[in-house]
Each structure stands twice: as C-alpha cells, then as structure tokens.
Chain A
Amino acid sequence: MSFPLGAASCTLKLSRPNADLWVIELCHGVENRLSRLFMSNAILPALQQIEEEWLESSCDGTVIITGNQTQEKFFCNGTIPVHSVPVVRELMAFLLDELFRRMFTYPIPIICAMNGHTFAAGLVLALACDYRVMTSGKAWCCMNEVLFGAPLPATVSAILRAKLPNAVILRKCSLEGYKFTAQDCLSHGIVDELGGGTSSNVLETAIRMADKVKAGAKTGVWGLIKEEIYREVIDTIDESRRVAFTSAKL
C-alpha cells in the first residue's frame, strides 16, 4: 500500500510480508524529514491501517519501521526546518505529540530498523519504537538541538528520559549533542542489535528479531502496559507541555 492514499507521490510504502509482520518503509525523499503532512497523511494512517488489519486476526504481530531502502545513508534526519510562524510551529508540535502518543500506546511491538543517520526528531522516532536495530555501517545517532540552538520540547525530554539507559548517556545525548556511532549505540544500550551495513541487511535483522517479539501482541495488552510504563511521556503529551522556543537566529 502506498501513502498518502490516492496521492500522486508516495512518501510511505506499507507491506505485509507475513500474516504477523508489517513493514513501513519511510520514503519521504532520502532524509525522511518529518513534516505535518508526512505524519498526518502517511505515518499515522499507516499505523491505523496496520492496527485494523491486526484486529481482524487478533494474533501475534510486529511492525518494522525503516527508512528509504534505495539508499544507505539516512534513516531520518528530524523535522523539516522550524517554521517562523508560531501557529505553524504549534501545529507541528501537536502532530509530533500525536505521533509519539500513538507509538507509545501502540498495541503491536514496533521495531525500528535504522538504516542510516538518525538525527534529532528521527532519533526520537526511533526511541518511540519498542526495539531498535541499527546498521553497522557509518551512521550516527545524535540529538543536535543543543548545537544549533533549539531547546528540546518537553515531549522529547520525556522520551529521552524514558528510553535512554542511564543519566550519563542522557547527558551525553541531550546536553552534549554527542554523535553516537552504531557501535556506541549498541554498547550504550540505545539500540538492541546491529544489522549488516546495507539497508536490506538491517531490515533482514529486524525481521529475524520480529519473530522473537511478535508474541507480545497476542493478548492485546501490549499497548496498555506501555501506557503505564511510559506514564510520564503520556502525561507530558496530554498536558500539552510546551517549552518556550527561542533561537539565536530569530
């Protein structure tokens, strides 16, 4: 299936290789910059489509989210550049919250197959998944907001705190804008496994992992358990906590 539905250009390809496996290939260009339309008309509808198909069978399930498979450089480079108009910025923040809330309460295990560079909101997207497989090739994970002068949105901080393994890595990632290599990510527990150096190898590794985690979906409580474990993330989103945005450039 191609998303957005009925659109001339495709930014997301959804496939179902098995009864219990769905693959979302993000192909909003090669960088997969998160824009409002990309989230509202492609990613969120795809997740909805998968859930409805899964509900029909009420079975095991895994969703893999991966980047553009025609290249090996990027998984997701974050959002499109921040808009100067405040109401547009707020719309963007709202949609990011919607997307992350959906992922943090999603009833089917989600594996992120990071087939390349994963920066800023792209890293948050990866962390919003339940598991992460990363290319062993030359790719970095980085929260570079501190380097270009943007505060971390409240939701993003909550997600980093919820998923990064300890205070040292949290500081390195969010305060120092450290560029974690694939090996760094593995040894620091940011990702669970490394796949081979190509996009298709990473996807294959994720598919093998999917087989081990798919049973989590079966009893229908995966999302409900997540909602409690990640209570701070959900509360931050539900309370629409916002950090005042100032940038040296404005």
Chain B
Amino acid sequence: MSYPLPLPQSHPLLTVSKPNETIWQIELHNGDDSRLTRQLLEEAFLPALDVVEKDWRKALKSGRGDAALVIVGNTKQDKFFSNGLDYENAIKDPTFRKEVFNPWIKRLLTFPIPTICAINGHAFAAGFLLSLCCDYRVMTSGRAWCCFNEVHFGAPLPPPFAQIIKVKLVDPRLVRKCALEGHRFVPRELEAAGVVDRLVDGKSSDVLAAAVEFAKSREALAKGQVWGKIKEELYREVIVAIDEGRNVERPAKL
C-alpha cells in the first residue's frame, strides 16, 4: 500500500497515512469542519478502515502485529474536529442510516486495532459520536466543545447514539448531562470525567503528535487479534440497537 492515500481519489475528503511502522492515521479534511456526509463515509472512511485493516493483517502474518489507528480532523486549522452529519441532507436520504451510517458506526466501534481520536477542535453531535466510537481520546486543551446538541435543535437521539453515550460515559448523571441536557463539555470537564484520556496544549499538529505518541503506548494490544471481538461484547447494546434497526419517530404534533 502506498501512503499517503487520499480518498476518494477524485475529490479527497480524507487522507490515510502511516506516520511510522505501527501507526496508521486518518486525517479528515472535508472542509474545515469535516461533516460526515454520505460520500465521505461511503467512499472514503469505510474504504480507509478496510485499507488499514488489510495492511495490518498483512503485517500480522509477518509477525508484526503491533498496530494502532489515529483519527484526526483537518490539521490545517485549529477550530473544528467534526461538526457531525450534514443533517438536512442526511434526513432526506432514506437509505443513509441503514446502508451507510449505522454500518460505519459498527465498523469503527468494533475496529480490530486500538483507535485513538485526536480531537483537535469542536466535536458536535455525530462528530462527538465519532470520537466516542474510538477507544481513546486525546484532545486539545484549548477552546473546543464536545456536545450532543440534538435536544437543542429538536432531534431525537438515534438509538445507537444513546447506547454509545451510555456505554462510554457510564455515570447516569453524566449521561443525563450529555444526552438530555445537551451540555457543551469543555476539555477539562471531559478529562475530569475520564471521557478524554489526555489534554494537549497547542495547535492541531501538537494534538496529533500527542495522539500518535499515545497510540504507540497501546499498539501491542492489537496483536492478540481479539481487540475487536472483545469490543463486540462490551458494546453489545449498541450492536443490538443497530441490528434491530431501531428508530425513534418524532411526534407529529411538534
């Protein structure tokens, strides 16, 4: 595999690279705020994850099983990690959730090597979800918010979102604050709550460098080849919510 690999090739929305022998990297650059459009997920993100896994399995066969994946936002700016879905278009697309979005959630959540999210800026709704689907989170200490703002703009939380928030945040009061109150968490709050593993001063490039360093500290966990399998059981409720195709209908009155 030849890196860096921009995807999709016609109009790159992210780039896969390999900072060193055991660490892969996906940098989102769908504009500054990397909305998770259908095209980005279908033609870039999911293929990127396949590329990384395939490459790792090849290395595994040669006895080099240590591996980790870092996911970061657009490093040419310091304001956004990801602002989530292109909501208006997503709700108009009748097959998006079932054919693309939910499979992507499942794929990332149960990815077979440790995933480290470098939250280099604001992470809203599905952008925050992306970071929670990763195994670890390294975040800028600067001015950046993580927020599930669905309650503010009047969208019910899709069942997989609610289940991921529960299984990753755990404490009912924290889940209430996050999912029901749509609280805008600042980096220090997330670190204190154990949601973010490390805070990093500086710019996106500093956050990314720290994430790569963190990734190296966990890379050995990949070679047992059960990382993803264990996660499938730990996060069973998320998988079930996706497999059952559960959806929440808004009442017609409001």
A binding-site residues for B, Cβ under 8 Å? 55, 58, 130, 162-166, 189, 192, 213, 216, 219-222, 224-229, 231
Contacts and interface: CB of A to CB of B under 8 A. Distances in A.
B92 interface: no
Interface in B201-254: 237, 241, 248, 250-251, 253-254
A220 B181 contact: no
Interface of B: 150-159, 161-163, 165-166, 171-173, 175-176, 179-181, 237, 241, 248, 250-251, 253-254
B106 to A, nearest CB: 17
A225 B250 contact: no
A226 B152 CA distance: 15
Secondary structure call for the B interface: helix
B67 to A, nearest CB: 33
Nearest to A224: B156
Contacts, number: 72
B124 to A, nearest CB: 16
B180 A222 contact: yes
A225 to B, nearest CB: 5
17 contacts: A55-B253, A216-B151, A216-B180, A219-B151, A219-B152, A220-B254, A221-B154, A224-B156, A225-B156, A225-B157, A225-B179, A228-B161, A229-B157, A229-B175, A231-B159, A231-B162, A231-B237
Contacts of A228: 156-159, 161-163, 248
B194 to A, nearest CB: 13
Contact of B180 (A55, A58, A164, A225): A225
A220 B250 contact: yes
A166 B165 CA distance: 16
Contacts of B155: 221
Scoring A221, A226, A227 by chain B CB atoms within 10 A of each residue's CB, the highest score goes to: A221
Contacts of B156: 221, 224-225, 228
Contacts of B241: 231
A229 B166 contact: yes
Given A165-B173, A227-B248, 16 more contacts: A130-B180, A164-B172, A165-B172, A213-B181, A216-B151, A219-B153, A220-B250, A221-B156, A224-B250, A225-B151, A228-B156, A228-B157, A228-B159, A229-B175, A231-B159, A231-B163
A105 to B, nearest CB: 11
A55 B253 CA distance: 8
A228 B160 CA distance: 9
